[in-house]
């Protein structure tokens, strides 16, 4: 259909352009022009997928590990978002036997009496109303296999399946020409993000009492005793005498305490200890 001036209707060009844009972003991401997560997101959006996972399966491992994930509802705090690959659940027996450049549709397996789903896959489908999952085997060797999967909250038309199948060689070729070390770097970045999130979660809160019963700073028994002695007004020398420790040992404990409580030195540590004790005493008086 032509519009005035000879242009092609956006109704026809729109989806095709989104697919082309997604593939262009994907290829660029494989060469470092953007993060792998963003590249995967663009590719999935081009296909109209609700979620997608790029994963790698090492033959000695029991299940594949995610390299990158995207979910269209990642900004929805109430939504259950994708947290793991489902390629193994979808492919079943063929998971480790499939050759590169092959594509697998969940809808084909659903009509196969010999195929058995997993409870994890069924829970995911029920939670997000997933109608179709498409898995593409990107690469395979004696040591490992790489997969990319797309999740759709609607059935795919036959023409859409044909389009996806036609694009598989492009996805496989672009993956084989990716930047060296891309997967390793993505996995390292993911681990760093998770470690930072865990550290932030366990970070000592400003209002937390260092000498609280829950030991929020995770002090060792010796470090806790040092803080108790300091709270009673003892100097470093007094602490060494009270605990029968050398001054060098006490100062080693103090350096560890400074790190765990995120203070710069003794004055700030004493302020934290005494102010938190005063706050706790005030709360106790209010509850009487």
283 pLDDT above the threshold of 50: no
Assign 3-state DSSP to the chain and report helix, strand, coil percentages, each to 5: 55, 15, 35
- What confidence tier does 209 reach under pLDDT thresholds 50, 70, 90? confident
- The answer to whether 102 touches 135, Cβ cutoff 8 Å, is no
- CB neighbourhood size of 202 (10 A): 9
Instruction: Give tens-digit pLDDT for 96-142.
Output: 899 999 999 999 999 888 899 999 999 999 999 999 999 999 999 88
146 pLDDT above the threshold of 90: yes
Give the C-alpha distances (Å, rounded to integers) separating 70 from 15, 41, 44, 52, 150.
20, 6, 8, 5, 10
**Residue 51 β-bridge partners:** 71, 151
Q: Pick the residue with more confidence: 196 or 135?
A: 135
Q: Pick the residue with more confidence: 157 or 187?
A: 157
Task: Kindly report the CATH number that applies to the domain delimited by 4-182.
Answer: 3.30.450.40
93 pLDDT above the threshold of 50: yes
Average pLDDT, the chain: 85
Q: What is the largest CA-CA distance in the chain?
A: 93
* Predicted local confidence at residue 3, as pLDDT: 38
* Predicted local confidence at residue 52, as pLDDT: 97
* Predicted local confidence at residue 228, as pLDDT: 93
Yes or no: domain 203-287 corresponds to CATH 1.10.10.10: yes
Kindly list the domain boundaries of the chain, sorted by start residue.
4-182, 203-287
Instruction: Give tens-digit pLDDT for 80-90.
Output: 999 999 999 99
73 pLDDT above the threshold of 80: yes
* Predicted local confidence at residue 249, as pLDDT: 93
Edge-to-edge order in the sheet of strand 132-140 = 65-71, 51-58, 144-152, 132-140, 103-105
Q: Among 85-99, 106-120, 156-170, 204-218, where is mean pLDDT lowest?
A: 204-218
* Predicted local confidence at residue 201, as pLDDT: 52
Q: Which of 133, 146, 148, 168 is nearest to 96 (CA)?
A: 146
Question: For the chain, how far is it from start to end, CA to CA, in angstroms?
Answer: 80
Q: Which long-range contacts (CB under 8 A, 24 or more apart) does 159-163 make?
A: 161/105, 163/19
Could you tell me the two tokens for 90?
């979808």
Q: Element (H or E) spanning 51, and its range?
A: strand 51-58
Q: What is the 3-state secondary structure (H, E, C) of 103-148?
A: EEEHHHHHCCCCCCCCHHHHHHHHHHCCCEEEEEEEEECCCEEEEE
Give the three-class secondary structure for 45.
helix
- CB neighbourhood size of 20 (10 A): 12
- What confidence tier does 26 reach under pLDDT thresholds 50, 70, 90? very high
162 pLDDT above the threshold of 80: yes
Q: Which of 170, 110, 107, 168 is nearest to 137 (CA)?
A: 168
CA distance linking residue 71 with residue 141, whole number of Å: 29
* Predicted local confidence at residue 7, as pLDDT: 42
- What confidence tier does 272 reach under pLDDT thresholds 50, 70, 90? confident
Could you tell me the two tokens for 93?
């027996």
Instruction: Give tens-digit pLDDT for 229-260.
Output: 999 999 999 999 999 999 999 999 999 999 88
Q: Which of 69, 96, 90 is nearest to 81 (CA)?
A: 69
The pTM for the full model equals: 0.63
187 pLDDT above the threshold of 90: no
């Amino acid at each position: 259909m032509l519009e005035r001036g000879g242009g092609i209707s956006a109704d026809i060009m729109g989806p095709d352009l989104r697919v082309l844009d997604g593939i262009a972003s994907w290829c660029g991401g494989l060469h470092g022009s953007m993060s792998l997560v963003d590249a995967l997101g663009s590719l999935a959006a081009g296909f109209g997928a609700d979620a997608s996972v790029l994963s790698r399966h090492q033959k000695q491992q029991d299940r594949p590990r995610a390299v990158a994930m995207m979910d269209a509802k990642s900004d929805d705090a109430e939504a259950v978002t994708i947290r793991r690959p489902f390629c193994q659940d979808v492919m079943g027996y063929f998971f480790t036997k499939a050759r590169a450049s092959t594509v697998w549709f969940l809808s084909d397996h659903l009509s196969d009496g010999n195929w058995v789903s997993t409870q994890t896959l069924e829970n995911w489908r029920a939670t997000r109303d997933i109608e179709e999952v498409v898995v593409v085997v990107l690469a395979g060797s004696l040591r490992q296999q790489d997969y990319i999967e797309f999740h759709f909250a609607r059935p795919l038309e036959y023409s859409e399946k044909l389009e996806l199948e036609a694009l598989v060689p492009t996805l496989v070729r672009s993956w084989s020409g990716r930047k060296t070390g891309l997967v390793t770097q993505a996995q390292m970045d993911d681990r760093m993000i998770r470690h930072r999130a865990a550290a932030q979660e366990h970070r000592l809160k400003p209002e937390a009492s260092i000498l609280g019963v829950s030991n929020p700073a995770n002090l060792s028994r010796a470090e806790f005793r040092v803080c108790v002695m300091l709270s009673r007004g003892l100097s470093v020398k007094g602490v060494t005498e009270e605990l029968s420790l050398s001054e060098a040992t006490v100062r080693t404990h103090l350096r560890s305490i400074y790190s765990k409580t995120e203070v710069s030195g003794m004055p700030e540590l004493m302020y934290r200890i005494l102010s938190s004790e005063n706050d706790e005493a005030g709360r106790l008086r209010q509850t009487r």
